[in-house]
Amino acid sequence: MRCLVTGVAGFVGSTLAERLVSLGHDVLGVDCFTDYYARSNKEENLAALRAGPRFGFEQLDLATADLVPIVSGADAVFHQAAQAGVRASWGKTFETYTSCNVLATQRLLEAAKNAGTVERFVYASSSSVYGDTTDLPMRETSRPRPFSPYGVTKLAAEHLAELYRENFGVPTVSLRYFTVYGPRQRPDMGFHRFIARLLRGEPLPVYGDGEQTRDFTFIEDIVEANLQSLNEGASGVYNIGGGSRVTLNDVLVLLAELTGQKMEIARGDKQAGDVRHTAADTTRAETELGYKPKVGLREGLARQVEWMKAHPQAWG
């Protein structure tokens, strides 16, 4: 199978591309190397892929480039590219989010429609579309109420995927990721920051009382969900969670144990856009995709800690 992976230099994109190549697929990866975090981290993510014969790479911006050449001939599109970050999406940077998350997705969908070869278009969405709801667990039928500009752009792109499926027959699947973690996690993300600070002996910044909960999902389970989205009959929106809903305070205790470091907390005020709780109902993904998370939180965090110890240059 010929696969296009956008955002291939990132956390999920590079891990997914490696898995696709290992399964014998040919992968064309694209990335524009936004300055959200260090390019050196992204180049390191690509190193093993670049060394293999089944991987090709093009540096381009999905919001401006001619996308026909990269989509033509692709059997599957895995659209992982996005401008990430809830807190950074407020204010003057919002234009970047609309360009990277909405416009880029529409242009890629349009190219897939015109190509006529795409058998599956998988869009990486986010649990952020649900917002700060008290209706838990979150279900695909729940009303989306984004609580941040980032969530608004992810939901808008989801709607575009649905419109292209219903009006033009583009076979789209949207996967709502719940707090992804593991090796190669972005330097701005919580677990990465906490582990790096613990290993340096620095205080851990906690916004609010620490009793907020998240449904944490290990990267390998996210990759598996993408592969399962190729199954016949997959269509529409699916929650992809890890089944590890834990308070932040409990996570920090576990990280201190896994790193063998003493924990010092530096508390701050709750940040705009941060939701109180997330919890995924994955029944639909289990029934229609065969999805079932396999990596528990302790094992997953232990693997991320070991990866970070081996890659201090990625700490940010």
Name residue 121's beta-bridge partners: 77, 172
From residue 211, how far is each of 20, 75, 148, 297 by CA, in Å?
38, 44, 20, 17
Measured distance CA(154)–CA(132) in Å, rounded: 15
Closest CA to 205 of 262, 253, 273, 264: 264
Compute the distance between CA of residue 169 and CA of residue 214 in angstroms, rounded to an integer: 35
Tokens matching residue 242? 């890890």
Picking from 42, 20, 16, the residue whose alpha carbon sits closest to that of residue 31 is: 42
The set of catalytic residues is 150
Do the Cβ atoms of 139 and 190 come closer than 8 Å? no
